[in-house]
Every structure is written in C-alpha cells, then in structure tokens.
A and B are shown apart, each in its own frame.
Chain A
Amino acid sequence: MIMALVLTPAIAAALALVLPGGARRVLFPLTAAVHAALTTFACLSTPAAAFGGWLGLDDLGTLFLAVTSGIFLAVSVYAAGYLEREVPGPRSDALGSGVFSNARDAIFVACMLAFLSMMTLVTLSQHFAVLWAAIEGTTLASAPLIYFHRHRRSLEATWKYLLICSVGIAIALLGTFFLAVAGQLGASGEQVMDLTSLLEAAPGLNTPWLKGAFLLMLVGYGTKMGLAPMHTWLPDAHSEAPSAVSAILSGALLNCAFLGILRARQILEAAGEAAFSGHLLVVFGLLSMVLAAFLILGQPDFKRLLAYSSVEHMGILAVGVGLGGAAAAGSMLHLVNHSLVKAMLFLVAGNTLAVYRTRTIREVRGVMVRTPVTGALWIVGLFAVVGSPPFGTFLSELLVLRGALHTGGVLVSVLFLGALAVAFVGLSGAVLRMVQGLPPGGYVGMREPEPWLSTMPPLALAALALLLGLWIPGPLRHIVVQAARAVGGGGF
C-alpha cells in the first residue's frame, strides 16, 4: 500500500520517458487519479508501516498526503490542457529575451510524476534521513520543471533554486546528524533517527544538541519552505516556472518542507522544549509575513505577487504552530486552505498569462471583460487569499489570530494584523486593477474562448475553498485536530 503510493508515480515517470506523446497525455492525469484514489483509500484505512517502519502514515502525514495528492490531481488535468497549448518548438518570448523553445514534454511529464513520488515519500517518511533524502529529491525532480521554458530568466531561476535549496537542505542534513548525537548523549545512549523511537526517547535527549538540531533543520527546511530571509529563491522560481508547476510548488512543495520542520518540532515538543521551538517559529513566521507584505505592496509582476503571498502564508503557518494551542489547529487548517487557494490562483494566473502574454500588472486590464470566468476566478481568489469570509482562509486565520491575541501578546498581534492589512492593500489594488475596467481597445461584450480544461480545475479548487469557509467536514476537522495535537497544538 505505502510502497504503491510511492512507486506508482515513479514507475509512471519512467514510462513517460518511453511512451509516445498521445499515451503520455493520458498517462499523466491517469496516474494522478490513481494516486488520488490510493490516497483516499490509505486515509480511510490506516495502512501498515512499510520498509522496516521507515515509511508509514501518521495523522500529520495523512493531512499532507491528502493535500498534495488533491492539488496534484487538479493540476494534472490543467497541465494536460496546458501541454496541448504549449506545442514544443521555438517561439518568441513574451517578455522579450529573444526566441526560446520548451523542453520536451516527455521530460515535463516524467519530472512531474517523479516530483509527485518524491513528495509522497516526504509525507510518508517516518525516518529523518529518509525525510531528508526525499526533500532533496523533490528539489532535483522539480529543477528541470522550472527550466521548462528554455530561456535565460528561467535558467537563472533554476540555478538559484538549485544552489540555494541544496545548501539549505545540506544544513538540514547536519541537523539530522545532530539528532543522532543528541540520542547518543541522551538517556538511552544509542543513536536513533526514526520518528517513533525518537519520540519515545525524546525526554532523555541531550538538550544542547537537540536545540542545535532544531536550529539547523529550521534554517535548512525553512529555506525550502520559503521562510524569510531564506525565501529568496521562491519568487524567481515561481514566476519563471510554467504556471502548473508554480501551482504545485506553492500548493504542495512548500508544505512538504514545512512537514520537515514539523517533524523536528514534534521531537522538541516531546522533549519538553516546545517553548524554544515555538518562539523561533513565531519570530521567523512574523519576519516572513512582514517582509512579504511589503514586497507585495507595489509589486509590478503578478506571478511574483502570488509568490510573495505564499511566503506570507508560510509565515502564518509558522506563527500558528509556534503559538500552539488552537492556533496550531488553525495553522493546519490554513495549510489546506492556502494550498487550495494558491494553487487555484497560479492556474488562473496561467490563463491570464496565456491571453495577455505579459506578467506586468500594469499591462493587464479588463480580464473580466475578455475572459469572464478567469476574471471571476481572480476576484474569488483575491478575497480567498486575503482571508475574508466566506472563504476557509478566514476561519483558519481567525484561529491563528485568536492565538496571537491570547498567547502571543501585543507585539505579535499588531505585527500579524498589520502584515495582513498591508498585504491586503497590495493584493487588492493589483488584482482588482487587472480584473476590472476595459482591456486596451476593448468594448463591452468582447469575449475570448476559455478552454474548459484550463477553467475547470481552478473552479473546482475555488469551490472547495468556499465550501471550507461555510462547513468543515467532520473527518477533515478530526484529522486537522489530530495533526495539530501531533505538533503540540490543541483542538478547537
């Protein structure tokens, strides 16, 4: 079961390299669907641990696995349509750096599926070394995706992504080794790296090494997750990658990196060092929120805008977990909401990019008139991403804010609300200006075709985001609360 989850996409990836184009187009969404089906099955029936207990599905993993698989399914449908449009071969670059051609879509599909398999591995890993290897794996699998459009900017983005993330991940590895030492110097005196035995041994672990381990993992995985000031790769990669890839990066990959931090947090929680890790998380979370909010304000490029908004929301997640209690549950809930909304927004941004051939906000006008569905989706996404009712983000941010007000203190609350406000001003100003009004030389009633393959997936995601604002299903609530408990939070 567990192995199937990891291997299905991996094998499919291998197949994608050899199969002919038509079959490949089918294979892609098909694999995603199969994976989603397996995931649902796995969530319903807690499967037995595999691979000597190194792989397994606990509450935390279940949440992340479900989100990843769901987002990937939606994106795969979208990408199928995307590949139809993006015929290989030379084309002129919309943003004017000469002619470029796309990578073969065999590589695209293969990397996508490998990416999925790696992320699945992250959510399943119960062993810190495996976790580390899997996260590094995601980097390697996704790098070619960012370089899908073969031109200089995407290459630069890829290079930064590779270098910065590899360095970060390396630091996380050092942290992993620190854990081992902490175990050796601990009560048990033996080195363990798998979650369950670490959790058992936690109270006895050697504190300095344990703290060191958390620091290193925070910096390492934080780099991948996009916590300021290690977030620097994120806007470049997100803006240069194809929108489908950006959606996966924001909707699934960042979560996986966050999972790495959460695992470390679990250990410290069990070891009674919750306060230490909590404070660090709150500090980095707030830093990310504030910095991202100001980078959002007046941002001229709408894909970078969305990328910075991801940084901000990662900050919210960190703050929530750091505050603990119900805020942690809020953070888990927010993780789901944010993935839905941000993935949806990146897909919508892809549609707009395809129609307007530019990412400059000032040059985009009257989306609502030219492409009504996309325009409506922009509006929905805007209000969802700034956390206004009736969308799920409102409820989750409410929970986190409550924690900030009651346990965080004045400064935390003020910074939290302030960052949200600034980000709102920036986002609303930019998005509304793109969506409203008349396109240059446009008129009322002018419309352009919108392929349903590129509108359906974001529509579905938007519907989910709205649903979660009006009604939180029992199972979801249960799993969210369980996950929050796992990282030392509480229910709501």
Chain B
Amino acid sequence: MTLLLLAIAVLLGSAVAALGLRRFPRASALAGALGAVAGCTLGAVAAVPAAVGVSSGDLMLPWSVPYGSLHLGLDPLSGFFLVPIFFLSAVGAVYGLGYLRPEPGRSRAGAWFFFNVLVASMVVVVAARNGVLFLLAWELMALSSYFLVIEDLVTVRGESPGVRDAGIVYLIATHLGTAFLLAMFLLLGGSGSLEFDTLRAAGGAAPAGLLFVFALVGFGSKAGFVPFHVWLPEAHPVAPSHVSAVMSGVMIKTGIYGLLRVLGFLGAPAAWWGWTLIGVGLLSGVLGVLFALAQHDLKRLLAYHSVENIGIIGLGLGVGLLGQQAGLPVVAALGYAGALLHVVNHALFKGLLFLAAGAVAHGAGTLHIEELGGLQKRMPWTASLFLVGAAAISGLPPLNGFVSELCIYLAAFGGAIAPGRAMAPAAALAVAGLALIGGLAVACFTKAFGVVFLGEARHDRVRDSHEVGLLMRTAMIVLAVACGAVALGAWAVVPHLALLIEQVARQDVSAPLHDLSRTLGFVALASASVLLLAGLVAALRRALLRGREIGIAPTWGCGYVAPNARMQYTASSYGEPLTRLFTMLLRPRVERKLPVGLFPRSGSYETHTDDQARVLLFAPVYRLLLWVAARARLVQAGRVQVYVLYIAITLMVLIAVALGK
C-alpha cells in the first residue's frame, strides 16, 4: 500500500514538475516521462502481488467532506486492473517522449501534466474504497483525459478542425454518464455511508435491478457500450496517439472495473442481468466492427474496434454472470476469466495498434487510409508490429487475443452442455456472435493492414514517409512481445486468478481454473508449434528455391501493361461487399460525381458513414432541447409590464391555492 501511495505521489509530483519546467520543453518532457515510468514501476510492484491475492492493509484516513473518507485498498480486483494501467501508461510515456515534439510558442508541458494526472486518477479510481473518493477520481480522470483530447486543438499550423467538437462530445458524454453513477451511489448509500465495505454489506435502498441499469449506463458510457459509445470515435482520433492508446487501452476499462465492483454490492444477480449484458455485448461487438469496417481514418477505425472489444468483454461478463446465477462454477469461472483476460489483452494489442497508428501519422503525415499504402517497405518496423497487433486483435493464434476469446467460447460451450440446458440459447447467441465478430474483425484488419502497409503508396506525400525514432519503436516492440508472452504464458497465470474470480463470482472456481490452465497449456503448445511448423515450411521453401533463378517483375495485371498506384483496390471497395450487406445498419452517405461526356475528365465516388447512434438517438434529443429552449425564451419577452404580470399572477395563484383549501 505504501508503494502504491508512493507511486501516486511520484506521478502527481512529476506532473507538477513538468508544468513547472514548461519554460524548458526538453526538461519538462523528461520530468513527465521519467516520473510516469518511475511511478508506474513502483505501482506495478505493489499491484502484481495484490492481483494474485497477497493482501496488504488498506489506507484509511478521515476526510472532512460529506460521506467521504480517504480510503484506498488493494484487493485482487483492484490489483488486476492496476497491472495493465501501470504497464501501458509506462510504455505510453516512453512513446510520448518521442511523439510529443515541442513547438515554437507552444510547450507540451500541459500534455505531460495531464497525462500523469490521468494515470494517477485512474489508479485512485481503481483503488478507491469510498464512493465520494471514487467519484472524485472518476471525474478527475474524465477532465484530465478531456484536456489531453484537445491537446492538439491549437498547433503552430493553426486550429485543427473538429477537435473542439470532439472534445465537447466527449465531455458531455462522460458527464452524463457520471450523473447516473452519482444517482446510483447515492441510492446505494441508503444507510448514509458511502464506504464500499458498508455498501457491500448493506445493499442499496433501491431495487437492485434499477441500480444495475444505472451502473450499466453510467459505466457503459465510459466503457463504450453501444449506444453510449458515441464519444469514442470522436475523441480517440484527435487525441495524441499515446493518449489514445492509454484511453482506449486502459481508461475505458475502468468502466468494466466499476461494473464488476458494483455488481459486488448488488447481491445475487438476476438472470436478466446476464441476458442484458450478452445483448449489449453482441450489439457493441457487431456494430463496433461493422462501423470500423466503414471508416476511412485509421484511428477512427481503431476507436470503433475498442467498442467491438468492449462488446466481447461484455459477452464474457454476461456468460459468466449467467453461470454464476445458475450455479455453474465452470461457466462462471471461464466467462469471467475470459472477460478479465480480454481486458488485459485488449490493453496490449489496442495499445500497440494505436501507437503504430501514431507512428504512421508521424512517418507518413496522414491517417487517411485511402491515401496510404506501401508503408511496409518504408516503415518496416512499424508495419510488422502493426501486423502483430492486427493478428492479435483478430483473435488469431498464436497471439493473446485468441486466448481470451477461447475462454469465452469455452464458457459458452460449457454453459450449453450444462445439465438442464437452461443456458443453451444464451450460449448459442454468444458463440454465433463471437464467430461473426471474429470473422468481421479479420476482414477489417486485413483491410487496415493490407491497404495501409501493403501495395504501393496511393498519394504522393506518402511516398517519402520515414520510419520513426528509437523511443517510439521500443515502446511498440515491448507491447508486441507482451502480446506473444501472454499467449504463451497465460496457462501459468490463470490458476493464480482463483481469488480474484472467486471475489467476483462468489463461488469456488479453483478446479475449473485448473482445467482451463491445462487447456491453455495445449493452446500455448499449439501456438509454439505453428511457429515451428512455419519455420520448417520456410526452410523447405528455401531448400526448394536453392539454385533456381528468382525473377523480379511488375505485378501481373492480367494483361494490362501500365498499372499505376491509383488503380489499386481501395479500402472502401475492399469493405464494400460487407458494408453493402449491412447497409440497413450503417446507412452510409454516398457522394458520387459520375464521369460525363465522350472524353470524361474525372469522376469520383465517396461514402461517409456517420455514427447512427448519434444520428438517430442523440441528435434528435439535442434538437428537441434546443427547440424547447427557443420556446423558453418567450418568457424573457423584455416588457416590464409582462414581468410584473408574472409576479401578480404568481401571487394571486398562491393566495388562491393556500386559502382555497
């Protein structure tokens, strides 16, 4: 615990230091980054043992604010979520050191300040044991990340379009979510205290179902469940890439953490909670990946994939919850384990992907997929590392994405064949959904990697793109290695999660976890052997080709002799069959300029896919509010006579009402 406090102190201290040194950009950046790395290292040392159940005492100080107390604790749940937070934040800091360049008249001290504050607030969110403290840290997290999102609003190149609105959308979304959390906590704390221990013991005054819905909305709007995801595709693309990585990798996971934490307060779960989670998970997963498929901006695409992966996590939680509710320890264990593992895995590969996207922005100067291409040859490191991330997020062996998805599959299968078959329909839903999501994810990431890194550059400015610096590369390599390590080492870790999962599932799960670790052992073997096999086949190829002549020629254009880069298959056309299949959901806008005349000069065809949740759900509400506001202004009509009339009428009505009865 002291270590954790020390970590927080270091983070905040370095934040202040970075701000104080803003006159000297270099020193300020160093202070921020080193502080972040040091703090995260300290914290990780504290968090890892806690995750596997080595308990350390709570910190409990009185606090003079109502219902508040400075109460921090480290139980397995907190520890488990802290590990990725510390890891990814440290990596992000290293990357940021190379990524954030000071500009004339614009020091980046603010970015470092808010970055470290963000990390610290995430730590407090996960470690808080008191409602008020939790909400305080929660809001601090939202604010600091908001300021990071708008970091690049004003640059030396002028004001970047869209950043401000993205920031405001994010701010409003997160605040409305917080409102639900506020109500939820206050309803929970019927007894008057907002201490988590008392909440867990007492249970709320309000019906648990209502509280569950509030928690789902409040935490879901942070985690990015459809339809509360509207802010992700806005905020992630405009934020600096290491910030997007941290936000998408770990910050939105605090929503999952909160959900798990609060589920602990609500007593025995009802079946419909599990069904709701599965439904929301499916919706988020499928819609997330579909909208990703329709994007033209690399980081926007990745943002939608965060929605997809949160959906997968939701599926896992839902299955686990159903298992817990039906008293099937196997299902509960596998479901929760899958969800939790996916939390870590998504942090790793999504972090990697966002960092790589940032590298592309750095090296090629654009993130517009239709302009990119051929970066594999100009940015080999970035490209290959992105490929690792892409394979991992598509849930393919031999990487970590597969491990967690397998757990969820197993949980679903186990639930299906469980005696009574009560869960079978839910399981079928989850399995089919996961399969569809997986297939679509493959489609989307073959598109992303294939169009961005393979083939030839589609735009002149991309031709002379360059590989990024050592710091950024190192950060990405670390994450890529971690992806592989989790895939090969998960079997060893899983048994130690028993305490954690028992804390969530409220039943003994050591046996199923042991079986799971055996299975994952097989998977690790298979993963290793697929690499080995590939090596063998490669050797075979080399042997076969020895002594034969190897020609280099232009790509076979099926007879067409003068192909150029503009003739390559575009990302839009690559995704078109699938997007057309789901037009009803995506409702893309088409802007076409048909070539006319005998010798047409030019023609063009563009599709833009707006977020339908925003178009169909939130925009109308906002318009309604504006409409009401316009009517409300009639009250302020400007004539003093009317104003006095209000007073007179109020007076007479009140008198009539009061004396009438």
Contact = CB atoms under 8 A, between A and B. Distances in A.
A294 interface: yes
A219 B636 CA distance: 18
A405 B140 contact: no
Given A212-B658, A388-B143, A428-B171, A298 B630 contact: yes
A443 B67 CA distance: 47
Contacts of A428: 168, 171-172, 175
A295 interface: yes
Contact of B179 (A223, A326, A417, A445): A417
Interface string B285-310: 00000000000000000000000000
A366 B153 CA distance: 11
A298 B155 CA distance: 28
Interface stretch (A13-21, A58-66, A126-134, A230-238): A230-238
B592 interface: no
Contacts of A326: 66
Nearest to A447: B105
A389 B139 CA distance: 6
Contact of A444 (B63, B106, B626, B659): B106
Interface string A235-257: 10000000000000000000000
Nearest to B160: A437
A471 B64 contact: yes
A164 B639 CA distance: 11
Contacts of A219: 647, 650-651, 654
Contacts of A215: 651, 654-655, 658
Interface string A205-220: 0001001100110110
A425 B632 contact: no
Contacts of B135: 389, 394
A389 B68 CA distance: 13
Contacts of B153: 436-437
A436 B150 contact: yes
A295 B625 CA distance: 11
Interface residues on A, range: 35 or more
A368 B110 CA distance: 13
Contacts of B205: 406
B550 interface: no
A476 B472 CA distance: 51
Contacts of B182: 398, 401, 417
Interface residues of B, number: 61
Nearest to A366: B154
Contacts of B658: 211-212, 215
B139 A394 contact: yes
A294 B626 CA distance: 8
Contacts of B106: 444-445
Contact of A432 (B67, B167, B636): B167
Interface in A425-465: 425-426, 428-429, 432-433, 436-438, 443-445
Interface stretch (B183-191, B226-234, B343-351): B183-191
A339 B365 CA distance: 49
A322 interface: no
A366 B179 CA distance: 29
Interface of A is mostly: helix
A332 interface: no
B158 interface: yes
Nearest to B631: A294
Contact of B154 (A159, A294, A436, A474): A436
B215 to A, nearest CB: 15
Contacts, number: 165
B643 interface: yes
B159 to A, nearest CB: 5
Given A167-B647, A383-B143, A298 B626 contact: yes
B136 A389 contact: yes
Contacts of B143: 383, 388
Contact of A399 (B66, B179, B646): B66
Nearest to A208: B659
A405 B186 contact: yes
B653 to A, nearest CB: 10
Contacts of A138: none
Given A167-B644, A171-B651, A212-B659, A444 B186 contact: no
Contact of B640 (A160, A413, A469): A160
A390 B142 CA distance: 12
B650 A229 contact: yes
Contacts of A366: 154
Contacts of A159: 640
A163 B135 CA distance: 45
A246 B64 CA distance: 32
Contact of A232 (B139, B175, B643): B643
Contacts of B622: 425
Contacts of A394: 135-136, 139
A369 interface: yes
A433 B183 contact: no
Contact of A413 (B171, B183, B629): B183
A421 B155 contact: no
B154 A437 contact: yes
B458 to A, nearest CB: 32
Nearest to A403: B186
B616 interface: no
A390 B154 CA distance: 26
A163 B183 contact: no
B614 interface: no
A355 to B, nearest CB: 18
Given A212-B655, A390-B140, A492-B66, A398 B186 contact: yes
11 contacts: A215-B658, A229-B650, A230-B647, A291-B635, A388-B178, A406-B205, A444-B154, A445-B105, A469-B65, A471-B65, A472-B65
Interface of B: 63-68, 103-106, 132, 135-136, 139-140, 143, 150, 153-156, 158-159, 164, 167-168, 171-172, 175-176, 178-179, 182-183, 186-187, 189-190, 205, 622, 625-626, 628-630, 632-633, 635-636, 640, 642-644, 646-647, 650-651, 654-655, 658-659
7 A-B pairs with the lowest CB-CB distances in the bound complex, closest first: A445-B105, A294-B632, A232-B643, A297-B629, A389-B139, A229-B646, A492-B66
Interface of A: 159-160, 163-164, 167-168, 171, 208, 211-212, 215-216, 218-219, 223, 229-230, 232-233, 235, 280, 291, 294-295, 297-298, 326, 330, 366, 368-369, 383, 386, 388-390, 394-395, 398-399, 401-402, 405-406, 413, 417, 420-422, 424-426, 428-429, 432-433, 436-438, 443-445, 469-474, 477, 492
Given A164-B644, A406-B205, A417-B183, 7 more contacts: A215-B651, A398-B67, A399-B66, A417-B182, A425-B625, A474-B64, A492-B67
